[in-house]
Structure 1
Amino acid sequence: MANRASTVTLAALGGAALGLIIGWQLPGSSVTAPVIEAAVADPASPPTLSLGERLRGEITSTSELNGKDGSRFERFTLTLEEGALIEIELSGPLQGSLALYDAEQQILATSANPAYYDAPAAASLRRRIDEDGDYMLVVSGHDLHSYGPFTLNSRHIELTTSDTLEMPSRADGWLQGSGDTYTLTIEESGLFQFEMRSSDLDAYLVLEGPNGYRREDDDSAGNLDARIADFLEPGEYRLTARSSYGQDSGLYTLELAPHELASGETLRNSGELTFDEPLHGWFSGETLSYEFTLDSPAAVTIDMLSSDFDSFLELSGNNVSYSDDDGGEGLNARLYASLDAGSYRVTARSHGGHGSGLFELRASAVDLDDLPSNGQLEVDSPIQARLEPGARDYYELVVESAGDYRLDLLSDDFDAYLELEGQGLSLRDDDGAGGLNARISTHLEEGTYRAVARAYGNSESGSYTLHLHRE
């Protein structure tokens, strides 16, 4: 965040000695910058520093004295123009700081002292000038032990003057209490990224657009920098750059560009979901829908993969409804269902509607008649087998007498997940048998059924027992 400076008046002491008070609190720190309280003698007229000039000086034992803490300081006069954004940098062996005063002896800006940080760094201050006039710059040693040569570099910072931005583009701006708003036009839908970076303040971005679109971000670019990455439809947008708390001042840079992940990718946020043809999309808080049609009954598997958010899938149509959160690897979603011929809708979103980012959607289908069989399961004849990572083991059940049945999948090696389909039934269970074991208890009519033994997580494997009981 930007350094906050108190407004302090320069007071004349007895007309001969000049009192200078430079005090500020570093954000997030209990350290107070040096206080220069009183010069002990009538100083000579301060030398002049011209903007753009490189000037060398030195804090010595003959420099003006801060009577409170014994530190030393030097003063310089600058003539500045209204509207100019200036930057002054202090470098060299001296561990020191800077302060800028106006003609009314009001302190306008200060620098953080590099002595407070682990790595050496140049102290600098920036300020937009409100009116023409003569200003005073004070170079102060950090404490009574701070002596040595220093170099002052000053420059006028060129800023972007237009409030209209192109895509892609870069803009340099200055915040002094309130936000800056820019307009831009997106010609074609796609994935775009907006970044606001600043070493002076806590960056905050707001993006608004057609149909009530609005996104905000504080720290997604790392440290205190802001980033908004999103899939945008064509239209006019408003981008507001401000500080997180609304009152800080400082220099910032905006960068607008197509998102690098979009290179070579075709992003689709709706439309047909084609089997065995993965598609990529961008989730930004709004539920996305895709459709597919089956010409004949099939076992369908749908995966939603994302490293940006916790994916969530829903499947509906033909009087069926399924959903899944973490059925795939990690936080990825996976749906598996035996479906009749017909049209279906897949809904892709995040768990809880939180987060945003890139995702991949994959779908595959196998005709039910082509599913591999691991054998036939009979009543009170348990099967012991081993499940391989990511596998599904299929078993055929032939019910010759209608009644109540219980199907158990038991394992000490993985989180068991059980499915039972056939004769109009489609049942699933995770932990119904206690612990991480699965159980389905239901009434079965005469006919042929299919049981699926698998792990809840896609990477799990191990030994299991599948047992069908007549109750």
Structure 2
Amino acid sequence: MAKTSSLTLLIVAVGGVAVGYFAAQTLPNLAPPAEAPDAETTAEQDTTPAALQGLEYLTLGERARGEITSASELNGKDGSRFTRYAITLDEEALVEVSLSGALQGTVALYDDQLQLLANADTVRHRIEENGDYIVVISGADAHSYGPFNVNSRTIELSDADTMTVGTPIDSWLDTTEREITLTIEEAGMYQIEMRADEFDAYLELEGPNDYYREDDDSAGELNARIADFLAPGEYTLTARSAFGDGSGLFTLTAEPHELPGNGELRNDGTVTPNETLSGWYSGQDVTYDLEIDQAGMYQIDMSSSDVDAYLVLEGPNGYYREDDDSAGELNARIADFLAPGTYQLTARTAYGTDSGLFTLAIEPRDLPNDVELRNEGALTPDETLNGWYSGEALTYQLTIEESSLVTLSMSSNDFDTYLELYGEGVSYTDDDSGGGTNARLEQALLPGTYTVSARGFSASGSGMFELAVSAEPTEMQPDT
């Protein structure tokens, strides 16, 4: 490789990825003259490119540990910090450099002329020439610090048509799909992933008793993942690109999927308040009988890091509730007042095509001290009350004795509130004027009786709310 001129190395970032370039720089010689190096040291420095001098060397195939701190080199463009290593690589080698550990960061690979060869969370690159290269580990942004491991390896491409659990396969997809036989020795939970940087990975899995699953992007970005309970037997894995025209390197892995807690799964049966269980969704609704012995407020949560959780609750007297994301992120929550009886609780996913582990928790929900719920009746000016919304609008009657500027405020920590005010020939609505997801109406009203409707913006929301009303006499004529 060509030798580098004696210039100063600067690293900048574009979109959080380290990119290097040289800039000539003249520094005043403020220090006393150093002792002349011996001939051997001088000869070694003469043959080492300037960009590599002083760098710690990584050994291909071995893990190295490091840390990005406030003392690490500074990227002047975005404020992130970085550190550099040298690594010796052989011509025609297909290498992978990846990060693990607490640091949220990226990897960049340069030649000794500081030409950027690749940058990504995990770099894979075919080396064109023997020599020394530079690996740059950079924080994702100005707030990214922490310890990390640098993992490097030579990728040996495989043409095998069989694989076993725990043994990954690195191979090359050449537009046509690859079929690989996977042998499962013991029944259990398994996670199969196909990862690729150059195309949109797609997996299909077929097995005993007409088993079939497929996936596109469940592993994040454009990577595929199938996580499911597999019986012993031989399965056919079809690895391809999502649209059938992609090609490039891919890695296929099959690993046991650990279960939380005691490792037990319950996909049916009776559940009761104060109970938490783990279940597995694999394309079919998972149903339980929920027994409620005492009327009260209850909260049911379904959480998962594998699937987009979705809950359906059906019960006596036509009761029906469903929810997708009320527990935050992709987790579902139903919080409601439940009468005694048997309810059917269904755990599934929002789209029905995912699979994975979920946790179901049913807990009684205590009301704050001195809180009474009023879900109907008369409102009077300067009154504040609490109610419970469970999918159906709650209506109250407001009587105004004299022309007044009336303010209605509805707030909740559980759902997106919505107010309607109508009567005496007028109608007003509001969603978020109270700040956040809280509703607020302020209107001049003539004397008369009005209906106040308190509900959620969506019928799927539920929870406790506070409704406050105030009225100030005014000479203003209301808008009609």
TM-score normalised to the size of structure 1?
0.48
TM-score normalised to the size of structure 2?
0.47
Q: Report which of the two structures shows the higher radius of gyration computed on alpha carbons.
A: 1
